[in-house]
Structure 1
Amino acid sequence: MPRSLDGLVLAPVADQAPGQVGARTRFTYHEQDGEIWAEYAGGDVVRGHLVGTRSDDRLDFRYVQLGHDGTTSSGHCLSAVVELPDGRVRLEETWEWESQSGSGTSVVEQVTEYDS
């Protein structure tokens, strides 16, 4: 199993649609005994949380977020945990909104202290 996500900060490699997670969003992950959770904020997101499970290199979680426009949104995501050649972690994600229409894929990668 790839290394633990606990304490890692990850960021999207590209912007999504307006009002969603973008390249300025930062996720701080936590992991313990197969449980994962994270807080996130930045860009169009004031505050977001995700919670779910990890089995080997797969994450299954739900997320909820508050946008700068005052709207709330929620959805479901499945992610593959990949270790990059430089030792950083990448999550390859397939997500779907549950509070509105829409779905897609995204990639988030571990940021170093120089990237934050």
Structure 2
Amino acid sequence: MARSLDGLVLAPVADQAPGQVGTRTRFAYHEQDGAIWAEYEGGDVVRGRLVGTRDGDRLDFRYVQLKTDGSTSSGHCVSTVVDLPDGRVRLEETWEWESQPGRGTSVVEEIAE
């Protein structure tokens, strides 16, 4: 199993569609006893939260966010935790909006210190 996400800050490696999470978004992860949660913000996201579970290298969580235009949205994501050769962590994600149409994939990586 990959190392704990607790205390890590991750960022997307590429921008999504306008109004979504992008390379300026930062996710501050927490993990304890199989539970994961994070706060995120940046770019078009004023404030976001995610909460879910971890089973081995698989994350399963729901997310909700407030965007700069005042709209809110929510969805579901399943991620695989990958240890990178340089010691950082990558999440390979498959997500789907529940509050609006849309689905896709994305990658977030631990920010190098």
TM-score (norm 1): 0.97
**Aligned equivalent of 2:47:** 47
Matched residue SS, 1:31: strand
Distance in 1 between the 2:66 and 2:17 partners?
A: 15
Query: Once the 2 structures are TM-superposed, how far is the Cα of residue 59 of structure 1 from its aligned partner?
Result: 0.0
Mapped pair 1:87 → 2:90: no
Structure 1 gap ranges (5+): none
The letter of the residue matching 1:34 is G
**Aligned equivalent of 1:57:** 57
Q: Deviations over 1:19-67 (max 9, x none)?
A: 1000000000000000000000000000000000000000000000000
Query: Once the 2 structures are TM-superposed, how far is the Cα of residue 112 of structure 1 from its aligned partner?
Result: 1.9
Matched residue SS, 1:105: strand
TM-score (norm 2): 0.99
The letter of the residue matching 1:107 is V
Query: Once the 2 structures are TM-superposed, how far is the Cα of residue 74 of structure 1 from its aligned partner?
Result: 0.1
The letter of the residue matching 1:101 is P
**Aligned equivalent of 1:96:** 96
**Aligned equivalent of 2:16:** 16
Distance in 2 between the 1:70 and 1:19 partners?
A: 11
Query: Once the 2 structures are TM-superposed, how far is the Cα of residue 10 of structure 1 from its aligned partner?
Result: 0.1
Q: How many residues align?
A: 113
Structure 2 gap ranges (5+): none
